Structure 1
């Protein structure tokens, strides 16, 4: 599989696709998870993404499940040094904050960040993670406290790189500026909700933040910052008639973009999912998809997108401007 560098030149070498492990151990059983992970590595995949709260919203789950499955898989395959492992802190349920998630998310206080990495390392069976994310923004903790705590983990060798997810671009900008002023390790990765379709202005996704034009411009001007995207295939809504588009994408221009997407896919003999992945991977700035799959067949479809080329003419057709609402 094609390689790239996470965090720009001199960053972490990773595969062009990142495999999301969110459902492993809950809605995807351990046997199937192992099959997906094995096939991903066989295909040259190296980059795997999880969190210390996946998937706490599934009935009976605690949030330990995904990391535990990955830890057991790494132990049996003995390939820790061959994978780039990312996990997150900040969105795990904290009982003392109440019973309703995500309102009871643990937050990003320094003590929580440190306890979070200890728990993740234990479940993953490793002495470090390659990328550690601040999972969701925490308005209740001073930004300097969080940024300092993450930087300390890099200094100590617990994390090789740090980043953030579900942070608005203004908060990302302030965090990186603060790190530069204090001589701390900056966030070099941001992971947001993003796909080919664009949500209507002001759309709400709860704690999830989606990619905006401001963020794309900010990333494009900073070669040491990488943009990753989750929910890129909208849980199958591009290809499965039984999966409705999330209502946040109900806006003028959506039907036209879907028509163009399907026309381009048919012309080049690809699936709409593959076109979406290629469109992300080869855009300006490039966006690395975090692919979430529940079967080896779905993984195979995604893997084929890495070598799919969209020429300038096709990209111009796909990049039609959405009308103002």
Structure 2
């Protein structure tokens, strides 16, 4: 399975029984990658940020399948002030915070290691050397296996990777950014101010770095491709969106699949790992169906030339 299951809403929008059913179906279909964080979901009423990791950990313990699951979780964006529904009090990425956050995540996930540990946000108040050193220390202790950076601009990612290489430390080999088939206007502000959007420079950098994997969150734009109750953000209101949606509909019609499935097939075909967040079984089944969608070269060219 080439996409990851986004577990953000598990334990909050989706109860434990329903979450277990979704995780079971994902695993049954061949899925292995699960993406969560230590702050999912703190911004819903009553949420603390513990919920997603707790559900994933309980599911792995109940199924006894830890070794067959690739778990990614994140540190850095958990609020330190109770009741703060913003990132103004985010914990950040100091060495002490990273070490404690990792231990807390391991406890909630009921495991002794994380496959991919992510720096969730950029923290320019902390030297990169300090954060990278903490990640390397965790790897040396066997608590994490690989490291990733989320919401980090390309120039900072390159600086971090070069620092790690020069010091013989664990490098970031995963990058997680907002990415989908549709693109916002250059310079447009997204409603989610903390999101960092993939750019052409990002894609060029990833292509040039064979050890770096790009993960795409908001791959299906919270349902905006297919749901009338989820309108596109104003940032996507430009002629390129109209042309891309027309190409998307043409290809989807030719293949007899949904817009979402074409978007996922296009991302996966380019080597990107989409993170698909689901709250209902039909959403998961649609994503699983995208695995069998094959775009030919002409269709890929048509999709990518619409801009």
TM-score of Structure 1 vs Structure 2, range by shorter chain: over 0.9
Q: What is the alpha-carbon distance in structure 1 between the residues aligned to residue 189 and residue 166 of structure 2?
A: 33
What is the CA-CA distance between 1:99 and the residue it aligns to? 3.4
1:179 aligned to 164, 167, 174, which one?
164
Look up the match of 2:87.
102
What is the CA-CA distance between 1:253 and the residue it aligns to? 1.1
Instruction: Please give the TM-score of this superposition, normalised by the length of structure 2.
Output: 0.97
> 1:74 aligned to 2:51?
no
> 1:229 aligned to 2:216?
yes
Look up the match of 1:59.
45
Instruction: Kindly indicate whether the alpha-carbon contact (under 8 Å) linking 2:244 and 2:306 is maintained by their aligned counterparts in 1.
Output: no
Instruction: Please give the TM-score of this superposition, normalised by the length of structure 1.
Output: 0.92
Q: What is the alpha-carbon distance in structure 1 between the residues aligned to residue 206 and residue 170 of structure 2?
A: 17
> 1:88 aligned to 2:74?
yes
> 1:304 aligned to 2:289?
yes
Q: What is the alpha-carbon distance in structure 2 between the residues aligned to residue 210 and residue 28 of structure 1?
A: 27
Q: What is the alpha-carbon distance in structure 1 between the residues aligned to residue 81 and residue 122 of structure 2?
A: 19
2:240 aligned to 230, 242, 253, which one?
253
1:160 alignment partner, SS class:
strand
Look up the match of 1:19.
5
Instruction: Kindly indicate whether the alpha-carbon contact (under 8 Å) linking 2:106 and 2:113 is maintained by their aligned counterparts in 1.
Output: yes
Look up the match of 2:185.
200
Q: What is the alpha-carbon distance in structure 2 between the residues aligned to residue 273 and residue 63 of structure 1?
A: 28
Q: What is the alpha-carbon distance in structure 1 between the residues aligned to residue 195 and residue 64 of structure 2?
A: 34
Query: Could you list the per-position Cα deviations for residues 224-257 of structure 1 after superposition, in whole angstroms to 9, with x for gaps in the alignment?
Result: 0000001111111111111101222122311111
What is the CA-CA distance between 1:321 and the residue it aligns to? 4.8
Q: Which runs of 5+ in 1 are unaligned?
A: 1-14
What is the CA-CA distance between 1:63 and the residue it aligns to? 0.3
1:63 alignment partner, SS class:
coil
Q: What is the alpha-carbon distance in structure 2 between the residues aligned to residue 35 and residue 300 of structure 1?
A: 12
Query: Could you list the per-position Cα deviations for residues 122-175 of structure 1 after superposition, in whole angstroms to 9, with x for gaps in the alignment?
Result: 000001111100000001111110111111111111001001100011110110
| Count of matched residue pairs | 305
What is the CA-CA distance between 1:100 and the residue it aligns to? 5.0
Q: What is the alpha-carbon distance in structure 2 between the residues aligned to residue 299 and residue 158 of structure 1?
A: 30
**1:267-306 equivalence runs, <5 A:** 267-283=254-270, 286-306=271-291
Query: Could you list the per-position Cα deviations for residues 188-232 of structure 1 after superposition, in whole angstroms to 9, with x for gaps in the alignment?
Result: 000100000011111233111011111100010111000000111
Task: Kindly report the root-mean-square deviation, in angstroms, between the aligned alpha carbons of the 2 structures.
Answer: 1.2
Following superposition, which runs of at least 4 residues in structure 1 exceed 3 angstroms of deviation? none
> 1:128 aligned to 2:120?
no
Q: Which runs of 5+ in 2 are unaligned?
A: none
Query: Could you list the per-position Cα deviations for residues 266-319 of structure 1 after superposition, in whole angstroms to 9, with x for gaps in the alignment?
Result: 111010000000000112xx1110111111111111011112110011111100
Q: What is the alpha-carbon distance in structure 1 between the residues aligned to residue 57 and residue 181 of structure 2?
A: 33
1:243 aligned to 206, 230, 235, which one?
230
Q: What is the alpha-carbon distance in structure 2 between the residues aligned to residue 321 and residue 297 of structure 1?
A: 29
Query: Could you list the per-position Cα deviations for residues 71-127 of structure 1 after superposition, in whole angstroms to 9, with x for gaps in the alignment?
Result: 11111111111101110000001118x935111111000000000001000000001
Look up the match of 2:148.
163
Q: What is the alpha-carbon distance in structure 2 between the residues aligned to residue 44 and residue 193 of structure 1?
A: 25
